[in-house]
Structure 1
Amino acid sequence: MIKRILLNSDKKCLYKFVYNMGVKGTMSFRRYQKRLKKGEFFPAFHFISVTDDCNLNCQGCWVTGKKSNSRMSADELNRIINETKAKGSYFFGILGGEPLMYKPLFDVLKKHPDCYFQLFTNGTLLTPGVAEELRKMANVTPLISFEGDEDVADIRRRGNDVYHRTTLAVENAANAGLITGVAMSVCKSNLDLALSPEFIQSLIDKGVAYLWYYIYRPVGSDPTVELALNKEEIQTLRNYMVEARSKYDIAIIDAYWDEDGNGLCPAATGLSHHINASGYIEPCPVIQFATDHVADKPLAEIYRDSVFLDELKQEIPKKTSGCILMEDPQWLVDFVEKHNAKDTSGRENEAERLKAMPKVPSHGSGTPVPEKGRIYRFAKKRAFFGLGAYG
């Protein structure tokens, strides 16, 4: 796998990946751990939604159905990045909507060559020209979402010819020498594809460096709860991932199980938090409530003083090691009402939706399956291994 990445990657992209993401990312994770030991808190990294705009309308997307779309100003985005760097963290996930629809995106990323950015994209706008711009910057890894094959992708994405457009995006990125990732939100309609050796091999053949699986979360104006995996399917997926890591010439990423196979919630651990396009600091993208806004005061003071985020980290582990939104949505409603948290979904009905939502299993369900590979165990226990921790 390492040999393949070395041969296929642009050298500057490879250097930035190893140093900005690998070395500096590991250091930022350790700084985060040291802060926790001293009773201080600031996330190891941020996920930032820069825009609500998107050219697709996917099932289970948290951005759909907003009364009006928000777009973060370039000044605000730069300030968030600078304040995070001041705490020794240099890795950022850039989300949307579709972040490639955010006009200031490249200008902002170019201002921070010392950082590393993971760009969550549906791929339909990732042309050869866009791939070349990313190659020149060298500090961006595109994470391209696959939601199914020809028969499933258009239904999940509510678009036309989405599978082939996504496949083309992967080829454009890999051909440009980018460290290219593919993500799949695994649900009932694409589980067979996720577990297909042919699918993984097709990505390897296209030059994909890493594949990230996460579990479908029913959110947004069309949560489509019936797509959520049951307990047995989650167990099957977890077993498959652990075995696949030793079989295939590609990195298999997840961020919801620790080295011993126990479920974890990045928001409850404080590993990461999400800042939405309106500037509200949410526990994670799918928990769309907040008491804090980036304009209120510096980020370090917000994290020091936020009772909402602090109590959430204390209380969720008492309930589950998985996703509280899935396993006990009514508890989440009671918690946010207790803290008088603002509905940041843009739909103004998130509490009502959660009250009506049935409980479904999450990654906290099932029997723990420990990692077998020493590298994966080390990465999860000691190093920075947060690629894709948003779900």
Structure 2
Amino acid sequence: MQSFQLEEYLSRGTDRIIKGILKASLSNPGESAFMIQYSKAAKEARELRREAEARGEHIPPFLIASITSQCNLHCKGCYARANESCGEFERNGQLDKEQWGDIFSQAEELGIGFILLAGGEPLVRRDVIETAARHKRILFPVFTNGTLMDQDYVKLFSDHRNLIPVFSMEGNQQRTDDRRGAGVYHTLMGTMECMREKGILFGTSITVTKENLDEVTSDEFTCRLAGAGCKAVVYVEYVPADPMTQGLAPDEEDRARMEQRLRKLREKKQAMLYISFPGDEKASGGCLAAGRGFFHINANGGAEPCPFSPFSDTSLKETRLREALKSRLFVKLRDGEFLTGEHSGGCVLFGQEKAVRALVSESERDA
């Protein structure tokens, strides 16, 4: 891996995302004005990362932050519930708003321009989301099930355009309600209509399986989303947290078909932004987890390779963000071949649980 090539690849990727969001917001003066201002901050962040790269230090452009373990839904096949990082109640020891605010400030200083807020259900932590809103040089996509979006939240998102709600769904009403619960699809449609009326840019996040791939990448479905006011779609490959659902995970043929469909959508429907995760790993030399392109911070402050590989040897309660990127676990994952293998669902590390656990044990012995 040549790090300068990786930095260039990531910088081009973030530029494409920013341009895509800007194009999607052109019909909305308030959103457009913010994105023009933010694009300047993003260029400055990219320069900070390039300066670090020249010093031999790689800074990823993204972070994923699970700001709570609490969730009000019981979605079938949820990886967070499967690995016991999510439940009905907030657990002791989770980061408070001041600690999250400090992490956001550190990220800004390093040149990290995107922080995806997740959970659990992130809207249960209004205090953290309000803290994020004050960091205008960072874009915060908020991945939410949308069921807790009350009028106070609508005002918060309207007043702070660096917060972008991304609503999770599975496709049509039957698929969404079957996985997320009866009535969730109807609630989501009402929430999207409210966003459209208020002129708030929003996106959707769709878990892609063998069963729904063709539907959720179809012209009919994406036109329906566009009509609802959606400006961005994030496709996330299904991770078989339950071994009995292994058959739902997309394989190489499915990924190739999805990429082909996304190319067509991007050509035909340029008013929408289409993002796939993990995306084209071959073009980036492998998985981008463990600090290559991003890493995950869990609700207790643990620095993890990614949400689907919930193992950590470093706590951000005790360690600065810059040092967490140099954790023994991350370094061993990046220096080995753990991030470049073939996989059958979502995260290349997901199928290597035993090996990653062993690395954590080694790191603890070395400490």
Tell me, yes or no, whether TM beats 0.5.
yes
Q: Tell me which protein shows more helix as a share of its residues.
A: 2
Which structure 1 segments of 5+ residues have no match?
344-391
For 1:133, the aligned partner's letter is L
**Tell me, what secondary structure is at the counterpart of 2:207?**
strand
Q: In the alignment, which of 316, 333, 344 is matched to residue 312 of structure 1?
A: 333
1:148–1:163 Cα contact (<8 Å) kept = no
Q: What residue in structure 1 maps to residue 248 of structure 2?
A: 227
Q: Which residue of 1 aligns with 2:295?
A: 273
> Is the 1:60–1:223 contact (alpha carbons within 8 Å) kept by the matching residues of 2?
no
Pairing of 1:194-213 with structure 2 (within 5 A): 194-213=216-235
User: Is the Cα–Cα contact under 8 Å of residues 256 and 263 in structure 1 kept in the other structure?
Assistant: no
1:341 CA displacement: 7.2
Aligned to 1:14: 32
Structure-2 residue corresponding to 1:296 = 318
Query: What is aligned with 1:253?
Result: 275
Cα deviation code 1:140-183 (max 9, x no counterpart) = 111111212121112222x1211111222222222221221111
Structure 1 equivalent of residue 358 of structure 2 = 337
Aligned pairs for 1:138-177 within 5 A: 138-157=161-180, 159-177=181-199
CA RMSD, 1 decimal: 2.9
1:26 deviation in Å?
Answer: 4.1
Cα distance in 1, alignment partners of residues 148 and 172 from structure 2: 19
1:75 is matched with: 98
TM-score normalised to structure 2 length: 0.81
Distance 1:287 1:18, change over 3 A: farther
Kindly state the Cα deviation for residue 217 of structure 1 after the two structures are TM-superposed: 1.2
* Inter-CA distance 87–150: structure 2 relative to 1 (3 Å threshold): same
In the alignment, does 2:75 pair up with 1:52? Answer: no
Deviations 1:299-355 (A, max 9, x none): 222323x12101211224664276797557564412331331799xxxxxxxxxxxx
For the residues of structure 2 that align with 1:328 and 1:135, how far apart are their CA atoms? 37
**Pair 331,322 (structure 1): closer, same or farther in 2 beyond 3 Å:** closer
Structure 2 CA distance for partners of 1:286 and 1:318, relative to 1, 3 Å: closer
Q: Deviations over 1:170-206 (max 9, x none)?
A: 2222222122111111013322321321111111122
Quick one: distance in 1 between partners of 2:194 and 2:183? 17
| Rounded Cα–Cα distance in structure 2 between residues aligned with 1:245 and 1:168 | 27
Match for 1:146: what amino acid? Answer: M
Count of residues in correspondence between the two structures: 337
CA distance in 1, matches of 2:330, 2:23: 42
| SS of match in other structure, 2:227 | helix
Please give the alpha-carbon distance, in whole angstroms, between the structure 2 residues aligned to 1:156 and 1:222: 17
Deviation beyond 6 Å, 4+ runs, structure 1: 1-4
Retained in 2: the 8 A contact 1:123–1:166?
yes
Paired residues of 1:189 and 1:227 also in contact (CA < 8 A): yes
Q: CA deviation at 1:30?
A: 4.5
Render the CA deviation track for 1:110-160: whole Å, top value 9, x for unaligned.
432333211111112223442222111222111111212121112222x12
* 99 and 202 in structure 1: CA distance in 2 versus 1, 3 angstrom threshold: same
Query: Taking structure 1 as reference, are residues 222 and 123 closer, same or farther at Cα in structure 2, changes over 3 Å only?
Result: farther
TM-superposition CA deviations, 1:2-48 (whole Å, max 9, x none): 776322x2x3333223332x332344245334433432133323211
Does the C-alpha gap of structure 1 residues 103 and 330 become closer, same or farther in structure 2, counting only changes over 3 Å?
closer
Provide the TM-score with structure 1 as the length reference.
0.77
> What SS does the aligned partner of 1:145 have?
strand
